[in-house]
Structure formats: structure tokens, C-alpha cells
Structure 1
Amino acid sequence: MHKKNETLPPLPPIPKKRIQIDDFDKCAIRHKIHEFYAVRKQVPTLKTLLTELKKDIGFTGSREYLRLLLHSMGFKYKKCRNQRSILKERSDIVVWRESYLDEIKEARDKNMPLVYLDETYIHTSLNHAKCWQSENEPGVSKSVSTGKRYIIVHAGGPSGFVPNALLIYNDKEKKADYHDSMNRNNFKKWVLQKLIPNLSEPTCVIMDNARYHSFQINKAPTSNDRKHIIAEWLRLNNISFPQNASKDKLVTILRRHKPEPVYEIDTILSNHGHKVIRLPPYHCDLNPIEMIWGIVKAKVATKNVSITNDAFLKLVEDSFQVFTFTNV
């Protein structure tokens, strides 16, 4: 028993749960910011962005954590650009878009099938925000939690979706073949096991530049690497350099001989007779599968009324059965 005036020792602090943010989540955040500007014609604030991310991807971080995360992703909250700078597009993006359109035209002229691929996510709690209801008919109840998050990967073109290429998995269920969020290994596994076996002829595969699409197999060192690493890379690539060269000199030689990136996925698809075309940055509007996601989710939301998890997965699968792509 403690004495009446004895001070009890303080309780140990409760450790904070570490927030896990992967490349897929970061890609979803970038898409959400783009949606605010391009679709809603609205400036996103930390408050509105936090609300949307909690609803869409189950984001559990605080407002301050989101601010620091955006900074780490290259976003800055600063004075808006003037109209003159807005009208001026980055020259490298202009060139990339022109090259993309030329490659698409060349593929069409050769009658090469076009297949676009992309990833999205969907929660089991997805349903309509509004419904017809009365005092006697409460309608649909909006879940207070986001439910399970499923990642969806698929590919399709003018002939519809690639047969048997649909992948739906929950990144928290360790028993599944795909037991991690979308990353390089899972994307590579999907390409090898579900995409390539179902492409019946040489195909032009079109994808964006997500980090897990873009693992570079010939990546050169950077100026941040140590001198001996840069020197070893130059030596392995038969690039001559002075024996006693300083690091600055080696970096200059490195930049002069830096190769064009060769991506692992592009090489795999090329070895199977397919061609890869990369979408220019900030041009998700050129990927028609982006528009399909919204239609699929709307179909799911309409029928997602008090159903089991297995029925939910069947509902998502069935929502892909009726689509054909046009004007792609």
C-alpha cells in the first residue's frame, strides 16, 4: 500500500506506432495531388489532402507528418508561379512527349497491338456517399473504417483487358503469393507470371515511370558516391581516366560517359519479343486505363452493400469483364 502523500512514479511513455509509407502509397499521394489540380480544379491544402488520404489509402499520419512527407517527395509550399512561367513547359518533357507520340504512331503503322498497364487500390468499405433513404429505410451505412485495402494490377488495350492478367491482392495477408505492397519484385513477378504468358503476339506495352517500374540495371554512380566507387565503375566500363585524378575530375568524366538508362522490366519484355514505351511524366491522361479505374470503382460502390469479403473480390473481378478500350 502506498502512503497517502507518496508520489507515484510516472508511467512510461506509450511508444508511437511507426507509420509505413511505401512507393505505392507515395504514388497514390502524387496522383491525389494531381487530381486536385487537374480534375477538381482546386488547390489542395494539408487539411483537405489529409482528409482525402485518410479516406482513400487509410493514411494514419498527422498533419505535420504529411507536411514532412510531402517535402521528402519534392513538394514545396511556396509562392505560386506567374502566368508566364506556367505557360512555359519543361523542354525535356516536350521532347519526351514528342518521342512518345512518334513511337505510338510507329507501332500503329506496324499494326502492333497496344497494351497499357497500371496499378490502383480499392477498399472493402467503398460505397456511395449518398443514397435514397427514409425513416423506415436507412439505406447504406457508411463504414467508419476504410476496411481492407486491395491492390489491383491489370493491362489492356483496344481489344479489351489482357485475359487472366488481373491481379487483386491484399498487401497485409502474408499467406498470399504477393504479400507485400507493390514494389519491384511484385511487379516483376506479375509481368513474368500473368502478363507475358497471356500476350499472344509481339505487343507494344505502355507504362508510366513509377519507381517499381524503373529499376535500372546499368545504373551509374553519382557525385555522392565515394571516389573509389566512381573509379571502379569507370574501370569496369573501359573508360580511361588519369591515375591520380581528383574526385571532381572523375565526376566530370562520369557525366560525360553516363549511359542511357536500361530498365529491368523493359529488358525482360524485350527478350520475349515485346516493345516498351514509357509515358512522359505528368501525362497520366495519355493512359486510358486511368479512366477505367473510376468506372470500375463506381460499379463496385453501387453493389457493395453488406457483402462478404469473398463476394467483394468477386464483385471487383466481374466489374472488369465488360470493358473494351476505344480510341487508344
Structure 2
Amino acid sequence: MDDFDIGVLRRKIHEFYTMKKEIPTVNKLYCALKEDIGFKGSREILRQHIKKIGFRFKKSKSNRKVLIERNDISAWRAKYLQVLKDNDETHKLPVVYLETYIQSGLTFGMLKCWQNDDGTDGVLNPISKGQRLIIVHAGGEQGFVENACLVFKSQTKSGDHHDDMNHSNFKKWVTEKLAPNLNQPSLIVMDNAPYHNTSINKAPNTNSRKGVIQEWLSRNHIEYSPQYTIPQLLEIVKRNKPEPVYAIDAILKGLGHKVLRLPPYHCDLNPIEMVWASMKRKVAMVNIRKLANEMPSMDKFRVK
């Protein structure tokens, strides 16, 4: 399931409660998604997706088991919507949404088409998905940000575009292509991709060496005893751990912009995701392979 399908799943769960007045069991959701988006996975895979987007199956006060959304995700969504509302009513900053990735060899899972009974083949499913294209862009109510588009061929075979668009490359795109083309202070909305969330002054964790933990505590003027063990030091870190400050946020705020992050698994709250979903479906239908050979390589852009 891609991000668009995950958004459909979330809305379908709420639809069962608000419109159908039914409990959305896995079986009911499986049948609904199979009909609506052609879901090809098993019921167990669907169950895993439901858990991943923050729902858990538990007994309600009426002793009936229902799907309940995690409180932290619900609170994050409420805060996100409130910030957008306040901006619309008070600050009136233009809202700019960021999005990354499309695949040149994208096809539908089980491709069907009209075929003649005389044995003539129709459209054949590709054996290999071919080159993947990475597209990074931003846009809002006024359209896409001019000159901010970045397109390049994936150089990895892992299947994860995050291996291509890492923090260094994303930072380079923000500073060289996005920020210079924003004509006024803006509210920039991005998701929680790892390359968006590289922290400044990141707190140590259980994998950190004792010396690293002590150095972090000293740098932040937090008292501790040299005799403390690693678990004791980590308890002090936990009590004094600051809110994360992300490197990209610091850059954009320094240029007069504000940053807002989407709640996890809420691509439906990002309008550019709807544009991307439409584009990906169009690519899946047409699947013009020659596109991949015409795209520039990342080598022309890569951070040295």
C-alpha cells in the first residue's frame, strides 16, 4: 500500500463509525478496500497496516472490541489542524507542501486488459520495474514553486528512495532550490521522513558510550556524578531531554519561514499527496519506460 492507499484505509475506518454505524472489523475493511482500491494483500497484511497507522484493537466500555486510535496521534492531528486554522485566520502565511518520489516502472499489481481469444497478447506485465525516478517538489495554493523541482534517477537497488534523498541532499535542495524561490515567508509542511528529522544536539541513547553521554550532559550544563553507571546517566538524560530541534527547521526558520510536520500516516492532510497519487496512477497506466533514460543522473547534484 502506498501513502495514498494508507490514507484511504484511515478514512474507511472512520467511515464505518460515522456513516455506516458499524464496527470496522478486519474482514469488513478487507472487503471494502478490495473493492475500492483493488487491495491485493492478505487479511494479516491489512491488520499490520492498521496497527502501523496507530490503531489498536481493544475492548470498549460496552465490552465490544473496537478499533481505537492512539491518543498521541489524535492529539498530533488536532494540533496540526489548529496551526493551519490559526495561520489562515491570523498569520496568513502561504502554505507550501513538500513531497518526494515517483517510480518510472510503476505498474498495477495484477494488470488486466481486454484481450482477443485468438491468443493475441495484450499489455504484458514487466518482469523488471526498471529505473526509479526521484522527484522532489513543493507547492501550494498558488501552484508548484517555480524552479524548485528536482528530478534524478535512483542509483540504489534497495527499493527505498530514502537511500538517495538523504539529509545532506535534502538540505542542499532546501538551501539551493526551495528557499531561494520562495518570494515571501511561508508555512512549510513536511512529513516525518528520516532525512527531514536530523536533530541538532541529539540526546544520547542506550547505544551511546558512557563518555558520549557524559560529554552531552556537560555540554548542556547538567550535573552528574562521575561514579554514575550508564543506566543512571541515561535516567538523567531522560529527565532533562529537550524537545528535538531539527537542522532543516533551524535553516528555514533562520530565513523567516515556519515549519509544520504532518501527523504520522496522515498523507490525506497533505494536498500534494493527492497530486502525487494521481501522477503515480497515470504513470502506472502509461508506464513510458524511455522516460528513465532521459532523466539526469544524481551525480550532477550529489553533495560531495
The reply to whether TM is greater than 0.5 is yes
Aligned-partner residue type, residue 88 of structure 2: R
Which of residues 50, 57, 73 is equivalent to 1:93?
A: 73
The range that moved more, 156-165 or 87-96, is: 87-96
The DSSP-based 3-state class of the residue aligned with 1:42 is helix
TM-superposed CA distance for 1:87, in Å, is: 4.1
Q: Which residue of 2 aligns with 1:158?
A: 141
Distance 2:169 2:266 in 1: 24
CA change 1:241–1:292 in 2 (3 A) is: same
Q: May I ask how many residue pairs the two structures share in their alignment?
A: 255
Tell me, yes or no, if structure 1 residue 309 matches structure 2 residue 285: no
TM-score, normalization by structure 1: 0.65
Tell me, yes or no, if structure 1 residue 246 matches structure 2 residue 229: yes
Which of residues 233, 250, 270 is equivalent to 1:287?
A: 270
The range that moved more, 267-276 or 183-192, is: 183-192
The DSSP-based 3-state class of the residue aligned with 2:184 is coil
The DSSP-based 3-state class of the residue aligned with 1:103 is helix
4+ runs deviating over 6 angstroms: none
Q: Which residue of 1 aligns with 2:164?
A: 181
Distance 1:260 1:298 in 2: 39
Q: Which residue of 2 aligns with 1:112?
A: 93
- Tell me if the contact between 2:104 and 2:283 (Cα under 8 Å) persists in the aligned partners: no
CA change 1:49–1:313 in 2 (3 A) is: farther
Distance 1:88 1:180 in 2: 34
Query: Structure 2, unaligned stretches of length 5 or more?
Result: 13-28, 34-39, 297-304
Aligned pairs (5 A) from 1:195-234: 195-234=178-217
Tell me, yes or no, if structure 1 residue 122 matches structure 2 residue 97: no
Aligned-residue identity in percent: 43
Q: Deviations over 1:59-103 (max 9, x none)?
A: xxxxxxx9xxxx9xxx89xxx834537543322223222221221
The DSSP-based 3-state class of the residue aligned with 1:186 is helix
TM-superposed CA distance for 1:144, in Å, is: 2.5
Q: Deviations over 1:159-198 (max 9, x none)?
A: 111112222211129xxxx996121122112212221121
CA change 1:86–1:165 in 2 (3 A) is: farther
Distance 1:266 1:36 in 2: 30
TM-score, normalization by structure 2: 0.70
Distance 1:290 1:122 in 2: 15
Tell me, yes or no, if structure 1 residue 81 matches structure 2 residue 78: no
Q: Which residue of 1 aligns with 2:36?
A: none
Aligned-partner residue type, residue 97 of structure 1: R
Q: Deviations over 1:10-68 (max 9, x none)?
A: xxxxxxxxxxxxxxxxxxx7749837844894399xxx559xxxxxxxxxxxxxxx9xx
TM-superposed CA distance for 1:133, in Å, is: 5.2
Aligned-partner residue type, residue 167 of structure 1: L
Aligned pairs (5 A) from 1:314-325: none
- Tell me if the contact between 2:3 and 2:265 (Cα under 8 Å) persists in the aligned partners: no
Q: Which has the higher strand share?
A: 2
Tell me, yes or no, if structure 1 residue 147 matches structure 2 residue 130: yes
Distance 1:88 1:223 in 2: 31
